[in-house]
Amino acid sequence: MENTLIQNFTPRLYQETIFATASQYNTLVVLPTGLGKTAIAMMLVAHRLSQYPTSKCLLLAPTKPLVDQHAQTLQRHIPSLKDKIAVFTGTVSPEKRAEQWKDAQIIVSTPQGLENDVIANRIDLGIVSALIIDEAHRATGEYSYVWLTQQYNTYSKWPRILALTASPGSEMDKIQEIITALGIEKIEVRTETDQDVAMYMQDVAIHWKYVMLPDEFFAVQKYLKDCFQSKTDELKKLGYVNTTQQLSDNKTDLLKLQAHLQGEIAQGNRDFNVLRSLSLAAEAMKVQHAIELVETQGLDPLAIYIDDIMNQAKNTKVKAVQNLVADVNFRSAYIKIKILLEKGVEHPKLQLLRELMQEKFAAAFEKGHTDYKLILFTQYRDTGMKLVAILNELFLPNNEHLKAKLFVGQAKKRGSGLTQKEQLAILEEFRNNAFQVLVSSSVGEEGLDIPDVDAVIFYEPIPSAIRHIQRKGRTGRHGDGEVIILVTKGTRDEGYRWSSHHKERRMYKTLHELKKKLVFAIPSTIQKEQLLSKYIENTSSASSSIFSSIKKEEKKYTIIVDHREKGNYIIKELLNLGIVVDLQQLDVGDYLLSSRCAVELKSISDFIDSLIDGRLLQQAKKLKEQYGRPLYIIEGMGDLYAVRNVHPNAIRGMLATLTVDFGIPLLQTKSSKETAALLAQIAKREQEDDKREISLHADRKPVSLKEQQEYVVSAFPLIGHSLVTPILKEFGSLKNFINASEDDLKKVKLLGEKKAKAIKDVIDWQWKEFE
């Protein structure tokens, strides 16, 4: 079947070799951009659907444009399943995704939306025979890939994972984290020089173009460096920087220092020296950024940055900003910048860029290549805006204006910022040669289907091996390409150049080492498949015992979670702990652990905020009215008394009110993981031996007639506490409510067709004793 499924495609030798591994093991594939990683995914999809015809295959990609691109490739080469390929993104409603899941065999999705579908039990990962993860270097920390893979490995009957990336990173720990998170068993690495791929690689020439900072820039740089030095000298006097230590220019040391100081404050140390040191570190970080701008970007972006700081100082009480603008060296640098801008002094990279554009387009037009185009990458949006303005002043050899457009992310900043629809429109114009130069921020490095170009220019080197490889991979896909990198001599540009170079070399070395010594901490998926195959082939009780030995049936505990909490990492942890999560709308509380136990979760800052605005007492009153054993959980490692300028006695008074007057206990946890473990433990105790079933219908007995009426109405399906009052206001009595027609019920605000029908079904359905 797999041979007949794929049409109009002939695999290359290295693709067949990699596929042979991927068909047997969970595999991480590291392959240079443009060498057909998606083709290997397509081969695996066909193979798994051949092995398990009733299964589904799932392909995840980080952005909607990439999802659409993969879906189009699959539809083109697997035409027989064109109608069975579904696209899941944020623009598709959850209800529609649930319907599409039933009929589709190949699902291409962004991970975030799919994560919500898994949490809400709208899809079943148990019937997915292949999980393909594109841009797999993202599978670290709390990114959605990590949790989805855990769920897939737990529930799939036929697990197989294929992870794809051009660059997983250079650090051994980072690569190992990806391997562990995705359950990788084998690694397939190809570099541009490997024999089986070399014949398919296009020639990409890399040129480093150097410029020197003019003397005027050194004057600005000196003011800023003196400002930075004054901050670090004071930090040393305060005792939080070793007197022999020299803080580096790459911000890493400052970030470590800030993390250490914030940790001190979180532990309750609010000594003056700690607070002053943190303020100084923030000032030093801002100055370092200014130094980077003058060295690598130019005066215009630097002036914009310092203007922002000056404006902030007028309206903020933040000491770091106020102290910085008062610093004589910082102010001197600012004045010098304004003078140089008035004189028209600019960074030498700008003139070099003009010359390169004239040279490249002249050479292309001479060869008859009039649709020559390139991407110009820059680290900063303000620089990008300046570059677009400069390029649009240039002329092509045919005397027409050169056309350039800015390509940035969705965040709005100084009038720039593109919606995803606008991004796609610009890329389509670029593909159709409507303009010649795409000036792109980091948003163009991955996750978007950017057309192949003749050349890529880096306005500055970047220290990341991953981003360097991604930028470089935008050219030379279907023909020879060129990469030009602009470097300011004697600045951090040179350091970043060699940093990315060494990291890239280290990445491939690390991957080859890992191939030799990788030790698997997970059971072989091959063994799991063989065992499950025996179960499928035999329906006897003997084979059933084989299956039961794999996974012993255990009692399931349920926690009802307010739907507004669906983005909270706690939910993922609960599911990892085997808890059934039921997303519903709760009138009060965030987690319902039994009919009597509701939990209100607060971060430390949220607890103080809700104390100030009065929400805390209102919530406590509602919790106590509706549930017999409510509970507050405060999550975080910070100091409750250090978050806001609130008198400690006010906080103590509130704690006393909650615990003594309302009788609501407060517990504190350090992290989402600890919170989830605590919630799971309480839920198990509450639901043990079916003592207390989980229900939105609280177990506190109603007393007055009014409460009894509300109690009855709240027992109807899909009726939360927020709907009880509107229903009784509309109908006045239980009798009128019971006798109301479906159309009358729908007149109640927020009571739609689905809820109205469910209510009438309960009222009108004929009861049968043994049904």
Task: Report the 10 Å Cβ neighbour count for 441.
Answer: 18
- Measured in residues, the chain has a length of 771
Per residue in 658-674, pLDDT (tens digit) is: 999 899 999 999 999 99
C-alpha separations of 52 from 57, 512, 550 in Å: 10, 33, 20
Q: How far apart are CA 31 and CA 435, in angstroms?
A: 31
Residue 248 is predicted with a pLDDT of 61
pLDDT band, residue 478 (cuts 50/70/90): low
Q: How far apart are CA 399 and CA 684, in angstroms?
A: 77
Residue 176 is predicted with a pLDDT of 86
Residue 542 is predicted with a pLDDT of 40
pLDDT band, residue 689 (cuts 50/70/90): low
User: Which of the given ranges, 460-469, 524-533, 713-722, has the highest pLDDT on average?
Assistant: 460-469
Closest CA to 282 of 243, 242, 327: 327
Q: How far apart are CA 666 and CA 631, in angstroms?
A: 6
pLDDT band, residue 755 (cuts 50/70/90): confident
Residue 242 is predicted with a pLDDT of 67
Looking at beta carbons, which pairs linking 721-728 to residues 24 or more positions away fall under 8 Å? 721/587, 721/588, 721/626, 721/696, 722/585, 722/587, 722/750, 723/748, 723/750, 723/751, 723/755, 726/750, 726/751, 727/751
Whether 498 has a pLDDT exceeding 60, the answer reads: yes
Q: Please give the mean pLDDT across all residues of the chain.
A: 84
Residue 386: exposure state from Cβ atoms within 10 A (0-12, 13-18, ≥19): buried
Closest CA to 757 of 741, 771, 737, 768: 741
Q: How far apart are CA 577 and CA 144, in angstroms?
A: 17
Q: Which of 714-726 are b and which e, b meaning 16 or more Cβ less than 10 Å from the residue's Cβ?
A: bebebbebebbee
Per residue in 260-290, pLDDT (tens digit) is: 887 777 767 778 888 888 889 899 999 999 9
Give percent above pLDDT 70 in the chain. 88
Residue 343 is predicted with a pLDDT of 93
Residue 746 is predicted with a pLDDT of 85
Whether 512 has a pLDDT exceeding 50, the answer reads: yes
Tokens of residue 473, six digits:
């991979």
DSSP 487-520: EETTSHHHHHHHHHHHHHHHHHHHHHHHHHH---
Q: How far apart are CA 178 and CA 417, in angstroms?
A: 32
Residue 524 is predicted with a pLDDT of 44
pLDDT band, residue 552 (cuts 50/70/90): very low
What's the pTM value of the predicted model, to 2 decimals? 0.71
Whether 526 has a pLDDT exceeding 60, the answer reads: no
Higher-scoring residue by pLDDT: 46, 444? 46
C-alpha separations of 570 from 149, 664, 672, 675 in Å: 17, 22, 5, 7
> Positive or negative, the Cα torsion across 128, 134, 135, 137?
positive
Closest CA to 636 of 674, 588, 679: 674
Whether 477 has a pLDDT exceeding 80, the answer reads: no
Whether 529 has a pLDDT exceeding 60, the answer reads: no
Local structure of residue 395 (DSSP, 8 states) = B
pLDDT band, residue 339 (cuts 50/70/90): very high
Q: How far apart are CA 550 and CA 446, in angstroms?
A: 40
Q: How far apart are CA 616 and CA 606, in angstroms?
A: 10
pLDDT band, residue 331 (cuts 50/70/90): very high
Q: Which of 172-176, 454-458, 580-584, 766-770 has the lowest mean pLDDT?
A: 766-770
Q: Which of 487-496, 531-540, 542-551 has the lowest mean pLDDT?
A: 542-551
Per residue in 73-115, pLDDT (tens digit) is: 999 999 999 999 999 987 788 888 889 999 999 999 999 889 8
Q: How far apart are CA 37 and CA 49, in angstroms?
A: 19
